[in-house]
Structure 1
Amino acid sequence: MIRAILLAGTALVICAAAPNPGSPSGATIVAQGTANGVLPCMACHGPDLAGNRSIGAPRIAGLPVATTLAAFHAIAAGRMGDNYVMKNIAHALTGPERAAVAAYLATLPAGTP
């Protein structure tokens, strides 16, 4: 039973991360942002996405998909962090865009925190 639930959850994440022809890729969003004004992740989290302590931006490279998706959800709901820029980003990204970003970040080396 637990195995079936885990397999179903994994399939859901993979399907959610599947590219949508109208949506930018996770790599594009991370490096360039989106047409509707979402800033590129690199602007705050740094070029290697290892974080920027001076502004409180944590390392996001190498995070598991589920961790990034949970963070987006918690930030959008006001349960995590108090950064208005990230709250706006979490609201502006669509579900498929969030999934694409999370899937891309998970492929990157963790770097130095």
Structure 2
Amino acid sequence: MRHPILLGLLALVLGAAGQAGDVTAGARIVVHGTATGALPCMACHGVGLRGNAAIGASALAGLPVATTLAALDAIATGRVGHNYVMKNNAAALTPAERRAVADYLATLKPGG
């Protein structure tokens, strides 16, 4: 009877660790970019990820995970957007990296 409880606790701990790893990886991408060519998100969207109206870079802080994932997928495939830098950045991210960025952005407080 104790084994199901232990397995449940182990699943919770491993699940939390997986999420933390994704958020940490997302933060790293936002600040440093990737070795495969994605630039840091902060380069255009700003340190607080509040956006940059002067260049048309939208605010990213606090976006829901699903919103960010849908946007990155659509931009990477060319279904939306016309900014070639953003298209190249989105395309350079693997699905796991896109998810990590989305998870991280969702943890941020909108507006800074």
TM-score (normalizing by structure 2)? 0.78
1:8 maps to none
What is the deviation of 1:73?
0.9
CA–CA distance in structure 1, aligned partners of residues 31 and 76 of structure 2: 21
Structure 1: where are the runs of 5+ without partners? Answer: 1-13
2:105 maps to 105
TM-score (normalizing by structure 1)? 0.77
Tell me which stretches of 4 or more aligned residues in structure 1 moved more than 2 Å: 17-20
CA–CA distance in structure 2, aligned partners of residues 91 and 77 of structure 1: 7
Q: Which of the two has greater helix per residue? A: 2
Structure 2: where are the runs of 5+ without partners? Answer: 1-14
2:110 counterpart SS class: coil
1:1-113 to structure 2, matched below 5 A, reads: 18=19, 19=21, 25-111=25-111
- The letter for the 2-side match of 1:79 is R
Same amino acid, percent of matched pairs: 64
Count of matched residue pairs: 94
- The letter for the 2-side match of 1:52 is N
CA–CA distance in structure 1, aligned partners of residues 93 and 37 of structure 2: 10
CA–CA distance in structure 2, aligned partners of residues 32 and 91 of structure 1: 16
CA–CA distance in structure 1, aligned partners of residues 74 and 110 of structure 2: 22
CA–CA distance in structure 2, aligned partners of residues 40 and 29 of structure 1: 6
What per-residue deviation string (whole Å, max 9, x for no partner) do you get for residues 84-105 of structure 1? 0110011110010000000000
1:6 maps to none
- The letter for the 1-side match of 2:87 is K
